[in-house]
Amino acid sequence: MREEPNVNEAQFDYIVVGAGSSGCTVAARLSEDGRFRVALVEAGPKDTSPWIHLPLGYGKTMWDERINWKLYTEPDPNMNGRRIYWPRGKVLGGCSAINGLIAIRGQAEDYDDWARYGGDQWNYRNVLPHFRKSESFAGAANPEFHGKHGPICVAPIRHRHPLIDAFIGSANQLGIPCNDDFNGPSQEGVGYYSLTTRNGMRSSAAVGYLRPAKRRSNLTIVTEALVTKVRFEGRRAQGIDYTTNGRKMSMNARRGVILSAGAVHTPHLMMLSGIGPAGHLKAHGIDVVADMPGVGANLRDHLQLRLIYRCNRPITTNDELNSLTGKVKIGLQWLLTRTGPLAVGINQGGLFARVMPDATRPDVQFHVATLSADMAGGKVHPFSGFTMSVCQLRPESHGTIRLACADPTTPPLIHANYLDSELDRQVAIGGIRLARRIARTGPLSQLVTREELPGESVDSKEGILDFARQNGATIFHPTSTCRMGQDDDADAVVRPDLKVRGFDGLWIADCSVMPTIVSGNTNLPAIMIGEKLSSSILN
């Protein structure tokens, strides 16, 4: 593997744009057997920041502009006109290098739903082998669901926390069963999350896929290079233009270009390259290569609503982080044993449950953190507090990604359009009320002094919705902005084989191709998509 900042007019078999969860996977797999010369082009730097590799460093990377795009949505009328912060990875590993490490695949029904758009090759039975191939499961693995020799280490949390144990016990008293493996036979239930960690350190796509490839002479990685355009000859992708260190550069692809820049930047690059809604492109002075209305449409995301509770004893990570002695203790614990709060990230407890009366499978997910702060990644509160974050798994509300202008360095316009659907609003109310029932039940109720946010006085449906509009935030899972579909689907951007419709030598492999959002965190599904496309190309 060569890391080269200046590769001008070079020839490759495949060019992969974006070194995130999917892009690292594709680049590593396509270069694996030595047949193809592959370039991986990333806008951000190498993953050298120590905060990336420390699981609790997630709170630092969320605001680090060197490795984070630090995007904001447009003012959202459904969210009291607020602009909502959207962190996105800009570094080798992409979002897998800065995310919350939660290892969730979604529900089997998600992929069976995808089969309605992409055929049986996308049903759960047929994507499961790609999940297994990517995984090295560090627990007692059921071989039907888990892999043991893949690049990404998935580790169950072994060290139990009394607060999470209390949360689980209270959920059990409400009839929610324990689930030791959310990626096993069923997702429904409550338990500890598994994390993408290995020996107390982050197992990102860059660590898992790129590091083992470092001796490959046929893989070139170009960092700090912003791709500005895909070049075409007729309807065939021929290469890319990019800028690095203020210089305009290009590279050429003999076999094709794979876009893996994510659900925000892939449609942005497509439109900059002339593929998108024709009227929108013309309005920005961009020559239309293909009128494709689905580019940048159908944006889905998980909205999180955070409840914060104060405890009656020093039991949370807040207490350790607010004390010099506590900081030294957890620092030494991690240095000596690779365990403790620094080794498990922010969210440890998980729950998948149904809140709507007609739900046939879980429609909400909880992330339970043993700390609290005014905002994700912010300074922890001075009291002993914890957070229950509620999100709807399959929102109906959808938005768009659009160009602000034709300048590639100007971020695109994100219209998230949260809570636009009545169903989404009702699920938000139901999720908040379920969280409160858990906090008021059994062992967790014995630890809680009061609800700090939104506060007990916020109890009516109208009050809860106003809280959601004023405080809701992304939980960092945008999808579906270049969704897959059949050739006769006018809103589809890619075919079931992930080739852009009507083009040769141009594929997309990232969360933007998802026809519907998955029921959970998106890192593992993005890696699976990369595995599936690579296998398709190689075979």
Q: What value does the mean pLDDT of the chain take?
A: 96
Residue 432 within any structural domain of the chain: no
Q: Note the pLDDT of residue 158.
A: 86
Query: Mind listing the pLDDT tens digit for each residue in 311-353?
Result: 999 999 999 999 999 999 999 999 999 999 999 989 999 999 9
Q: For residue 249, is pLDDT > 80?
A: yes
Residue 68 within any structural domain of the chain: yes
Q: For residue 6, is pLDDT > 60?
A: no
Residue 421 within any structural domain of the chain: no
Q: For residue 278, is pLDDT > 50?
A: yes
**Residues annotated in the binding site, as ranges?**
91, 227
Rounded Cα gap, residues 187 and 378, in angstroms: 30
What is the C-alpha R_g of the chain?
22
Question: What percent of the chain shows pLDDT beyond 90?
Answer: 94
Instruction: Produce one character per residue of 29-55: b if its CB has 16 or more CB atoms within 10 Å, e if not.
Output: bbbbeeebbbbbbbbbebbebebbbbb
Q: Starting at the edge strand that comes first in sequence, how are the strands of the sheet with 135-137 ordered?
A: 135-137, 152-156, 194-195
Query: Mind listing the pLDDT tens digit for each residue in 41-85?
Result: 999 999 999 999 999 998 899 999 999 999 999 999 999 999 999
Query: Mind listing the pLDDT tens digit for each residue in 380-394?
Result: 999 999 999 999 999
**Residues annotated in the binding site for FAD, as ranges?**
91, 227
Place of tokens 């892999």: 147
Q: Report, as an integer, the average pLDDT of 231-253.
A: 97
Q: Note the pLDDT of residue 378.
A: 85
Q: Note the pLDDT of residue 333.
A: 93
Q: For residue 5, is pLDDT > 50?
A: no
Residue 265 within any structural domain of the chain: yes
Instruction: Produce one character per residue of 342-379: b if its CB has 16 or more CB atoms within 10 Å, e if not.
Output: bbbbbbbbbbbbbbeeeeebbbbbbbbbbbbbeebbee
Residue 452 within any structural domain of the chain: no
Residue 366 within any structural domain of the chain: no
Question: What percent of the chain shows pLDDT beyond 70?
Answer: 99
Interior angle at CA 510, CA 522 and CA 188, nearest 5: 25
**CATH code at 509?**
3.50.50.60
Q: For residue 2, is pLDDT > 60?
A: no
Please provide the size of the chain in residues. Answer: 539
Domain span including residue 286: 1-73+86-157+199-300+477-539
Q: Which of 161, 302, 381, 477 is catalytic?
A: 477
Query: Mind listing the pLDDT tens digit for each residue in 157-210?
Result: 988 999 999 999 999 999 999 999 999 999 999 999 999 999 999 999 999 999
- For the purposes of burial, counting CB atoms within 10 Å of the CB of 421, is it exposed (0-12), middle (13-18) or buried (19 or more)? middle
Q: Are 363 and 355 in contact (CB under 8 A)?
A: yes
Pair type for strands 152-156 and 303-311: unpaired
Q: Note the pLDDT of residue 4.
A: 55
Q: Report, as an integer, the average pLDDT of 111-118.
A: 98
Active site residue 477: yes
Q: Which two tokens stand for residue 209?
A: 């896929």
Residue 318 within any structural domain of the chain: no
pLDDT band at 94 (very low <50, low <70, confident <90, very high): very high
Query: Mind listing the pLDDT tens digit for each residue in 448-502?
Result: 999 999 999 999 999 999 999 999 999 999 999 999 999 899 999 999 999 999 9
Residue 467 within any structural domain of the chain: no
Lowest average pLDDT, out of 2-6, 21-25, 81-85, goes to: 2-6
Question: Based on the structure, what is the number of domains in the chain?
Answer: 1
Q: Note the pLDDT of residue 7.
A: 67
User: Does pTM surpass 0.95?
Assistant: yes
Q: For residue 243, is pLDDT > 60?
A: yes
